[in-house]
Structure 1
Amino acid sequence: MCGIAGIFNTNLAASEVIPEGALSAMVDALAHRNPDGIGTVAPTSPLRLERRRLAIFDLSQTDDQPMTDRLHGDILAFDGNIYNSKLLRQELETHGHVFHTKSDSEVILKAYGHWQLDFLSHLRGIFAIALWDGAKQRLILARDHMGVKPLYYAFMDGRLVFASEVRAILASGLVRRELDPAGLDSYLAYGSEQEPFTLVNGIRSLPAATYLCCDQKSIGDANAFWEPDLTPLSGTPTSLADLAADRLRNAVAMHMTSEDKIGAFLSGGIDSSAIVTLMRQASSADIHTFTVVFPDQCPDERRQAAATAERCQTIHTELEITTEEMQRRLPKALGDYDQPSIDGLNTWLVAAIASETGLKAALSGIGGDELFVGYDGFAQPRRLLRLQRLLKRFPSLALPLRLVARLRGREAMHKVAALASWPYSAYFLNRQIFSEATRLAATTCRQTASAQDWPAIAFRKLDAATKASGDDDINRISFLELNTYLRSTLLRDADQTGMAHGLEIRAPLLDHKLVEHMLRCPGQMKISSDGQKPMLAAAAGLPRAIGQQPKRGFVLPYDQILHDVWQEELAETFNQPSPLFTANVLQNWWLGYQEGNTPWTRIWTVFTLLHWLKRHRIIQ
């Protein structure tokens, strides 16, 4: 686990010399990703690579990166873990490859030397890869199947600049600090920039399950090395559920590999309870579990987390976050965000207490709602999908909806009114915080953003892919949840808040083999009147009471936080004019929040946005 950074000169670059200090500034910006070591390589090539290392597996210095394959002259900088590295090592050894370390890095280099670009299809794990092919004089950037590990890049003035975080690219000084209107509009719509966009013009996120090949003549397009097969499976529900359980147990066991102690986040809900239960089934070793609770929190949640910890015989740490504790800890959190987000504070807090015990890796139930169908069985987006189909058949029904939306001005009505003309799945409207109508009225960058048509770039291909699911709305929504909200919000937050504390957050529920199988099982198997997430609860053998309880998680009391921790900053922010918003709109939102008419989600979304843009000097 680490952070990677690099600069690649093409023949189009104004100078063959990479500016002094640019790469070291990038690595310094990644210092929080852990100081176990810094690796640098300056090969006889147009590429400069550096990597910050957090040692979890091969704790010796033989795993230092960037790593060079002396046989082929290939060089690797790599962030992540390859969970099938032992199996790959054994396979490659049968082909005559000789290994000198126990590291995943050497496995990747040997796999590339043997399979070339097809090596990516053999990897099972989480990764962001920068690999220099010495013989072909080309750079390969790649990102794991589900996008657990981030990788960003920008092509400016003939140079490709890439890193694990946006702020590292900004630190290079090679990218102009200009706001991307499309990134801004997508952020306001969803509380996080939708991939591949960022808030900085020219910086893009490499899509999940893709690789990018670059040489000195050109920067290629991103090519997919994996796309899930969404064709419905045949078989009995029992056989499909048994196979899902096998893949789930296998995924959890693989994610527990570490030469250091291992832990898990435990909220008392189904997802985290299932993970901890399966961890105990996989190993008799010590398991460290962590729970964050609040004084006014439902006592049942606290008791359930403690009961699961006792049942699974874990070393359990519980931190009660009082008002004083929030005031002490949270001001640092915003500075730790690589990109602003409506979410993430909860993960930041539990990662903080986990890292304070010396933990370097923790398993999380992230992805459970999206894959095993939480959120009340996707009830709301399913209703919107049905309404969207009705409006497509009878478009005249949309007119009165538009009139009501104009008169009442409520976000829900704006979303419903947009259904008839919205070219993509109704799912995308369901997730919006600010509707398009509100964004058009409130922001000053709307013309540029609309000209770019960012939803077509972010959503069109995903929407088309769901057709393979046939009429299964549950699986359609699950696929879109995994590829939008999960990736652009939850996974990004998990990486940036975990790595802020030098902690790798692992997501066994997002093992790509498990994901593909679940997306092909009938959606109706994933809902039940007898409890939440029946396939997950049954696979882990959870007590019946856990499956029947309402959704739980590390949910923060945001209203209290806004009042107790950031009240003064909020008031100052919303009472000052902003170049991004039309006159008085911020003051009106703030007044509405104080009167109880504006939800905290809007206030927090805007506040974190403006805080981040000013901190990184994108706006004044």
Structure 2
Amino acid sequence: MASTSNPDPELVRRMCEVIVHRGPDGAGFHSDEGVALGMRRLAIIDVATGDQPVYNEDKRIVAVFNGEIYNFGELREMLIAKGHRLRTAGDSECLVHLYEEFGEDLVHHLRGMFAFAIWDRDRRRLVLARDRVGKKPLYWRSDHSSIWFGSELKSLTRDPGMRREIDPVALDHYLTYQYVPAPWSIYQDVHKLPPGHVLVWEGGTVTVERYWELDRTQRSVVDPREEEQRLRELLLDATRVRMVSERPIGAFLSGGVDSSAVVAAMAMQSSNPVKTFCIGFEDSRYDERHKARMVADRYATDHHELVVTSNLLDILPRLAWHFDEPFADSSAIPSFYVAQLSRQHVTVALNGDGGDECFGGYQRYALMNQARRIPVVPRPLAGLLGRTGTLMSQRSASRSLSRRLGRLMTFVAAHPSQRYARLMSYFTPEQRSEIYSDSLQEALAGVDSYRLLEDIFHGSSAKTDLGRVLDVDTFTYLPGDLLVKVDITTMANSLEARSPFLDHHIMEWAATLPSALHVRNGQTKMLLKRAVAPWLPPQLLHYPKQGFGVPLAAWLRGELRELVFDALTDDTARGRGLFRPSAVQELLRRHMDGVDHSVRLWALLQFELWNRAHAAPDDTVVSGAGCHA
């Protein structure tokens, strides 16, 4: 924290103690007039001398840092050539010297994932920054004289002076998208620093500015084979720099194209067998172990598998504690278990995150690409079509054909930006209106959660709808859902995750490719699949995308039935005054009768479990999770 008065170093120590899982290998602190900094260390690079905080030569600049700077070798050479004296052999110390050279523009020189704080003692100036795509989290809050910040929201709640009042807009976004997007947090007084932004605090004044975004101006491509070769080169390089570690390293291997390509790139650049980790389910519809084994066999990896047969009643409270905000992506469960399995063998794990957002991997991209052929519906007719479709969707809950027809009518009537917002939503505006209490509806008067996505869609530099929705996902779904899920589940197990596809060199290069190299004729990830075809078993390229799904609907009708009824209908839940009890009961009844409302019930359940996990002053972790291999 920084303050115009005297900050509390003991508070900072408590803030660090509660996130010991992020850094079990040590702690570091600095305090002087105006600032108190602290950090927890997971030692991976420069294990012997890489402790933090780090200082410049006269200790007028001090920094703490979470993440990895992959180009630290080149940065060190450049700084030494400019006359700087570095006492360590790692990446952290580069930050203070880069700040001396470039000020807050130092972020443009960094290749990696990071959240850092730099204190300039002479100017009594604090600089906070987050990496381009949001791999590493950063929460903050400020009043007129002080600023508090941390990697997890639970650190900020150590301050007894912080109000824990739920932000109704954040709650509305959460139920729409299953996560709380930046810059909101679930609490009114706390913010997330968005990806690719720098925050400067000076004299009690906060300034936040964006420093990075993708340019989606498409370039002409003469020979796609040259692009395939260039992609292979970029992926090999991005993987190589992420294999630097003094601790054991491995990879998540789901059997999808992205993680398989990363494992292939690792194997081609490693003198030892790559350690790979895969999670499976007894339900074959959600089990991808057979695909992962194809890649593991091809590259003779040291392969490890785990079948999740956990008692969900044990793991859900633990996840609710680690996720400091309500989070409804149910794939957090297998993500936690693959991280837990991996940590038994390695400290660093590479993954395939970002491949879909860079190269057009989701089926919804193909749908949006095909929908561009739908002629614009005149406004009066669009309104009528949309209202009719909404009514059919709502009133035909037990008739799937009518419900699908209603959704199609609503989709056709909408502008492309709103079409995509509806595709990405889990509760539609109509469904949220049904369950919200009168007081919550009043608090949300005039709020339109779809505007979050629509504004990015309209502000994109892309000239195609496909490029615009790739922008939307890159700045919302990717950092708000996928990267939060991976950061929290890996850090809960003291494991570092690295993502070669999220190297900004790959992202910036991919953003300029013609849309037809991403999605064409209903086929997704065209260029990527062709580029990595020489690396992977042929049949792997033709499997439909499965995702990291779980049998959620069956769970809620089976082993979680009692929990979901108790949690959503007892006096505690009713007493919050946020949702209409009768509407929640109706959702439960419909789901148990066979209409799939699992994603909506899961979102409500996770919100309630989050409330209960973080209501106690000590935020006690409920531990225990049963699996067998």
TM-score, structure 1 as length reference? 0.90
Q: Deviations over 1:112-137 (max 9, x none)?
A: 11222221101000000111012322
Matched position secondary structure for 1:111: helix
Q: CA deviation at 1:596?
A: 1.4
Q: Deviations over 1:394-431 (max 9, x none)?
A: 44233133034225416874795487577945322210
Q: Which residue of 1 aligns with 2:603?
A: 605
Q: Which residue of 1 aligns with 2:384?
A: 399
Q: Deviations over 1:433-491 (max 9, x none)?
A: 011122123113123234455655x446522332x221x22222222111111111111
Q: CA deviation at 1:330?
A: 5.0
Quickly say closer, same or farther: Cα 1:530–1:242, change in 2 above 3 A. Answer: farther
2:290 to 303, 307, 317: 303
Q: Which amino acid aligns with 1:191?
A: Q
- Whole-angstrom distance in 1 between the partners of 2:31 and 2:591: 54
Q: CA deviation at 1:203?
A: 1.1
Q: Which amino acid aligns with 2:235?
A: L
Q: Which residue of 1 aligns with 2:158?
A: 171
Q: Which amino acid aligns with 2:14?
A: A
Quickly say closer, same or farther: Cα 1:259–1:320, change in 2 above 3 A. Answer: same
Q: Which residue of 1 aligns with 2:467?
A: 475
- Whole-angstrom distance in 2 between the partners of 1:606 and 1:302: 31
Quickly say closer, same or farther: Cα 1:559–1:368, change in 2 above 3 A. Answer: same
Q: Which residue of 2 aligns with 1:13?
A: none
Q: Which residue of 1 aligns with 2:624?
A: none
1:580 to 563, 578, 581: 578
- Whole-angstrom distance in 1 between the partners of 2:565 and 2:151: 34
Please tell me whether the aligned partners of residues 210 and 225 of structure 1 are also in contact (alpha carbons under 8 angstroms): yes
Moved more, 522-531 or 288-297: 522-531
Report 1:90-239 matches (<5 A): 90-156=77-143, 158-220=145-207, 222-236=208-222, 237-239=224-226
- Whole-angstrom distance in 2 between the partners of 1:170 and 1:350: 29
- Whole-angstrom distance in 2 between the partners of 1:329 and 1:560: 17
Please tell me whether the aligned partners of residues 229 and 520 of structure 1 are also in contact (alpha carbons under 8 angstroms): yes
Q: Which residue of 1 aligns with 2:14?
A: 25
Q: CA deviation at 1:80?
A: 0.3
1:539 to 531, 537, 551: 531
Please tell me whether the aligned partners of residues 146 and 204 of structure 2 are also in contact (alpha carbons under 8 angstroms): no
- Whole-angstrom distance in 2 between the partners of 1:26 and 1:502: 17
2:519 to 515, 520, 527: 527
Quickly say closer, same or farther: Cα 1:349–1:215, change in 2 above 3 A. Answer: same
Q: Which amino acid aligns with 2:339?
A: A
2:458 to 454, 464, 478: 464
Q: CA deviation at 1:514?
A: 0.6
- Percent sequence identity is 30
Q: Which amino acid aligns with 1:348?
A: F
Q: CA deviation at 1:566?
A: 3.0
Quickly say closer, same or farther: Cα 1:422–1:531, change in 2 above 3 A. Answer: closer
Q: CA deviation at 1:380?
A: 3.1
Matched position secondary structure for 2:27: strand
Moved more, 79-88 or 336-345: 336-345
Matched position secondary structure for 2:142: strand
Q: Deviations over 1:549-578 (max 9, x none)?
A: 111343222234435553322110222324
2:441 to 430, 439, 446: 446
- Whole-angstrom distance in 1 between the partners of 2:215 and 2:517: 18
Q: Which residue of 1 aligns with 2:425?
A: 432
Matched position secondary structure for 2:581: coil
Quickly say closer, same or farther: Cα 1:22–1:98, change in 2 above 3 A. Answer: closer
Q: CA deviation at 1:72?
A: 5.4
Please tell me whether the aligned partners of residues 272 and 365 of structure 1 are also in contact (alpha carbons under 8 angstroms): yes
Quickly say closer, same or farther: Cα 1:110–1:459, change in 2 above 3 A. Answer: same
Q: Which residue of 2 aligns with 1:40?
A: 29
Q: Which amino acid aligns with 2:219?
A: L
Structure 2 residue 325 is the aligned partner of structure 1 residue 332 = no
Q: CA deviation at 1:8?
A: 1.7
Q: CA deviation at 1:18?
A: 3.6
Please tell me whether the aligned partners of residues 184 and 191 of structure 2 are also in contact (alpha carbons under 8 angstroms): yes
Q: Which amino acid aligns with 2:430?
A: A
Q: CA deviation at 1:161?
A: 1.1
Moved more, 394-403 or 325-334: 325-334
Q: CA deviation at 1:328?
A: 5.6
- Whole-angstrom distance in 2 between the partners of 1:126 and 1:525: 28
Please tell me whether the aligned partners of residues 211 and 223 of structure 1 are also in contact (alpha carbons under 8 angstroms): yes
Quickly say closer, same or farther: Cα 1:300–1:432, change in 2 above 3 A. Answer: closer
Moved more, 226-235 or 102-111: 226-235
Q: Which residue of 1 aligns with 2:486?
A: 494
Matched position secondary structure for 2:328: coil
- Whole-angstrom distance in 2 between the partners of 1:285 and 1:96: 39
Quickly say closer, same or farther: Cα 1:189–1:97, change in 2 above 3 A. Answer: same
Quickly say closer, same or farther: Cα 1:394–1:252, change in 2 above 3 A. Answer: same
Please tell me whether the aligned partners of residues 320 and 606 of structure 2 are also in contact (alpha carbons under 8 angstroms): yes
Please tell me whether the aligned partners of residues 398 and 417 of structure 1 are also in contact (alpha carbons under 8 angstroms): no
Quickly say closer, same or farther: Cα 1:223–1:307, change in 2 above 3 A. Answer: same
2:74 to 62, 68, 87: 87
2:477 to 485, 505, 518: 485
Q: Which amino acid aligns with 1:405?
A: T
Quickly say closer, same or farther: Cα 1:139–1:300, change in 2 above 3 A. Answer: closer
What root-mean-square deviation, in Å, do the aligned CA atoms of Structure 1 and Structure 2 show? 2.5
- Whole-angstrom distance in 2 between the partners of 1:130 and 1:339: 23
- Whole-angstrom distance in 1 between the partners of 2:360 and 2:301: 27
- Whole-angstrom distance in 1 between the partners of 2:609 and 2:144: 29
Mark the runs of 5 or more structure 2 residues left unpaired by the alignment.
398-402, 618-629
Mark the runs of 5 or more structure 1 residues left unpaired by the alignment.
1-6, 11-15
Matched position secondary structure for 2:497: strand
- Whole-angstrom distance in 2 between the partners of 1:571 and 1:450: 29
Quickly say closer, same or farther: Cα 1:300–1:355, change in 2 above 3 A. Answer: closer
Quickly say closer, same or farther: Cα 1:119–1:198, change in 2 above 3 A. Answer: same
- Whole-angstrom distance in 2 between the partners of 1:99 and 1:137: 23
Matched position secondary structure for 1:171: coil
Q: Which amino acid aligns with 1:103?
A: G
Q: Deviations over 1:349-395 (max 9, x none)?
A: 111111122x21111111222222122361333455655x613x444
Q: CA deviation at 1:98?
A: 2.3
- Whole-angstrom distance in 2 between the partners of 1:240 and 1:306: 29
Matched position secondary structure for 1:75: strand
Moved more, 137-146 or 30-39: 30-39
Quickly say closer, same or farther: Cα 1:419–1:78, change in 2 above 3 A. Answer: farther
Quickly say closer, same or farther: Cα 1:425–1:597, change in 2 above 3 A. Answer: closer
Q: CA deviation at 1:521?
A: 0.1
